[in-house]
């Protein structure tokens, strides 16, 4: 009922190698339920109150600059990192913040599934060396997720649209090209332009 104005957000993290050894880095991801489009913040090894407030502000700016998305409601879990300053920044912009019920991960299912996808499709395949490398992997997956990856909930089409093959359509294999991302880990196939 609220899909066009509802967002979900959650954290994910990964231990990455830095000049100071192995460190845990955190990322905050936001997903628009209606379009399934995702906004992801830059990684941080110490997500404090200042960082959380900055992420809320960056998210609001992203939505404001988006043509097809608006925000009235946002859902997040009871993670202690979701501090009052984060919620207050959203409240001041007119956004209703709802926390999921205890032991009810299905209330935040879309963002939880996206996090599972990025972990299984990309992050679990790499030994990440540094914050820049981590941010690069995330941005490459985000681009792939929006422009090339088919989504069952959206008619098996990429989020930015694409070509749906008709049942009787015949393809000449010489006209099919493969685009590689992240060293061939992510691939998508497309019809050559005439």
Number of neighbours of residue 56 by Cβ within 10 angstroms: 28
- 34-67: pLDDT as tens digits: 888 999 999 999 999 999 999 999 999 999 988 7
What are the boundaries of each domain within the chain?
6-161
Burial of 121 (0-12, 13-18, 19+ CB in 10 A): middle
Number of neighbours of residue 24 by Cβ within 10 angstroms: 10
- 128-180: pLDDT as tens digits: 999 999 999 999 999 998 888 776 555 556 667 655 555 555 666 677 788 88
Query: Can you state the angle between helices 84-92 and 49-65, rounded to 10 degrees?
Result: 30
Q: What is the third-level CATH fold of 6-161?
A: Nucleotidyltransferase; domain 5 (3.30.420)
C-alpha closest to that of 45 among 115, 140, 126, 132: 132
| pTM of this structure | 0.85
- 89-106: pLDDT as tens digits: 999 999 999 998 777 767
Q: What is the DSSP letter of 191?
A: E
pLDDT of residue 76: 93
Is 114 within 8 Å of 151 (Cβ atoms)? no
Is 95 within 8 Å of 66 (Cβ atoms)? no
Q: Report the alpha-carbon distance of residue 171 to residue 179 in Å, rounded.
A: 17
């Amino acid at each position: 009922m609220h899909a066009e104005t509802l967002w979900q957000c959650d954290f994910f993290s990964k231990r990455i190698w830095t000049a100071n050894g192995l460190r845990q880095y955190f990322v905050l991801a936001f997903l628009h339920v209606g379009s399934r489009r995702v906004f992801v913040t830059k990684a941080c090894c110490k997500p404090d109150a200042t960082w959380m407030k900055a992420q809320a502000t960056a998210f609001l700016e992203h939505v404001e600059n988006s043509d097809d998305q608006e925000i009235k409601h946002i859902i997040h879990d009871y993670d202690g990192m979701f501090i009052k300053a984060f919620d207050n920044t959203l409240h001041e912009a007119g956004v209703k913040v709802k926390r999921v019920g205890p032991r009810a991960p299905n209330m935040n299912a879309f963002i939880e599934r996206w996090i599972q996808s990025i972990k299984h499709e990309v992050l679990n395949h790499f030994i990440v060396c540094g914050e820049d490398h981590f941010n690069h992997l995330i941005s490459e997956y985000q681009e792939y997720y929006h422009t090339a990856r088919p989504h069952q909930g959206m008619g098996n089409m990429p989020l930015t649209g694409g070509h749906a093959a008709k049942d009787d359509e015949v393809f000449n294999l010489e006209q099919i090209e493969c685009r590689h991302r992240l060293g061939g880990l992510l691939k998508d196939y497309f019809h050559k332009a005439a």
